[in-house]
Structure 1
Amino acid sequence: MGGRGGRYVPLVGRWGFLARNHALDAVTVLLTITSVLELMIGGDAPTAPEMSLGLEAVALVAMVLPLFVRRRFPFGAPAAYWLLAAAISLADGPLIPSVNSVFVLGMAAAFLLGNVRDPRKGRIGLVLVLACMVVVISNLPGHTISQLVFTPLPFAISWLAGSILQERVLQAEAAEDRAARAEKERDMVARVAVAEERARVARELHDIVAHAISVMVLQVGAVRHGLPAGMADQSDALRGVERVGRTALTEMRRLLAAMRPEGEAPELEPQPGLDNLNALIAEIGRAGLPASLEVRGERVPLPQTLDLFAYRIAQEGLTNVLKHAQAHQAALTLDYQPGALEIEVRDDGVGASASDGFGRGLVGVRERVKIYGGEMSAGPAGSGGFVLTARLPIGPDQP
């Protein structure tokens, strides 16, 4: 039974594809057959066509054939239908008006001309439909002025329906293109923001590493100067360490200069840490957002890099609330847990976004948490507002 069902699903899909893509072909064939039957049945009527039944059938089939290549010639195929209809009416005036099935096919051909993608061709198609219809009516014996005026109207309405549908399709495609371009632009700007943030993080890390190397060089120099005169070999070894350290420090400064954006002055102030949070809270308050700080657990000394990263995460979270959340207050919580430091920024606003529209919002937080192998979450709080949580590992297992 499973195998039978497996064959059934592709079969249904195949029939659905055929129905979507060849429904008009099937209807065209059916209407063509119907038109030939109409000619056979009404051959003795006073308004019957003048040509023989065989020539009439050949003429109708020749007129309908272009519709089967409409996918390859979206304008030429329905246009050929109408041109052939006008030409046939010149040879046999009553033929086209006497066959009701041809009326339906003419409506379909007019719809196809209105549905072409090129608006200029579409307008030409409307003129062609109306002109050919006037030719067909003019060749009908005993035609009236009202027939010349009102008979083309259904075909013009059919053309209008095709034109409206095509315009909707073009608008939908344009909207999709704009959305796709906007998505690409967001991705590109987000990548640039990530690169800039990584460069900023790298500059901060290099500052810390450069400071550490400076301290090491100074300590080695102090030890070397304190050695007795009889330890010349050890003094030379320490002098070599000093020389390598100073060279590394020089190269580090050059690297920092290369990473610094053009025109940006070097930062002379020391890097901030969690001890600066009270000043940050006060600064945020002066900017118009009352904020509070709560520290849970027992504070432990942190490595300088982790201390800096924790401060930057808190700073970015509060700044994000200030810019985007429309909040009345914010709360910053530091939770010292066994083996981890958890930082939470919560507000009572409408919900700050994880992005400011340019892909920058919480990029810095995400990059710093990733460097330290931590975890981050940001989103609407259950009680309203927005909450940012970052968990950084501390202790012997941290990166």
Structure 2
Amino acid sequence: MPLLGLTPGVRLVALLASLTVPDRFEATLSPRWRTVLVGCALALLAPVVLLTPDGVPASAGRAALIALIAVQAGAVWWMGERPGVVTAVELVAGAGVQFLAPEIGPGIALVVVSTFAWLRPARESLWGAVAALVLTTVPPWASGHGRGTLLWAAAALLAWSWGALGRSRSARRAAEARRVVLEERARIARELHDILAHTVSVMVVQAAAADDVFDANPARARQALRDLESSGRRALTEVRRFLRTVRALEPEPDADAFAPQPGLADLDVLTRPLAAAGLDVRLHAEGLDDRTLPAGVQLSAYRIVQESLTNVLRHARARTADITLDATGRHLVVEVRDDGGGRPSGAGGGQGIAGMRERAALAGGSLDAGPDPAGGFRVRALLPLEETS
């Protein structure tokens, strides 16, 4: 068991933490486990009926012992719905069993206490440990069998702590699983935002341009509509590619699930429709021909440029945008400047810049965005490069 590998100090810290830290973990007891508990209870308690109870007439004592055993075995079935009530019943019945047959202890009461500590937060189940401590020590003294008192007291505390530690470990595993799910959701949302926001913004500008010249210059309007169709097709292609990438996590992915993600070589295709939308985009690259950049760095740089240009279209009212890529050092420097109005980073109320910062951080880099002292707006990202052998 993993709990056996913990040192006493670590166990103590975990127990104290379980008593002080808010516990929102929801533990449940499946019908299968309840059936197993009932079966184990009957198997463990069945031999007890053959014992002769102490201090009472044999026939009456055996009948009382059988009744208490039946109560303990039957009550376990409702452990999932009423854990507190069942634990109290088990402890009282266990005290009776221990009084009549001290050599076998409180029956399955300590197993139930451990299960109770796993089902409920430590602060709620602590009374079970105290009650078990009292009810496993008083009956032996009352019946004149006090030699095993310390042993049963230690067993009661161990049973509760074992359940509480098991709950703490299950809660950590559930929290970690939830964190992984939330991170994956955030990644999917970020990718979809990067894929769609840019193309949809370009399509809106192209549609507006077609509407402006529809009567005065039908040929130009027709060209804008063709560009609009091409942008829509590119968006569909990127969405399909992304969905195939997601499906690649399945046991049997599609044959083309591992299609390459966009990289720096695709920036020309990305910026070409922007000229028709009225934005002059100039690309400056240095050091890209001398080395092979990791695919993950290229994808991050591509998405940062894509989102930056989307913001230029939506918020800046700019005429030109300059993209600078510099891979001559240990980092890939990605810089996008425009000559617009120097919008604040929160313009539009979206999550674009926050998403770019997250993307840069996931790549081990950083990103700054804000008004450029020389005018306009600037986005600058530093993405670490892995040297290729």
TM-score by length of 1: 0.47
Question: Bigger radius of gyration, 1 or 2?
Answer: 1
TM-score by length of 2: 0.48
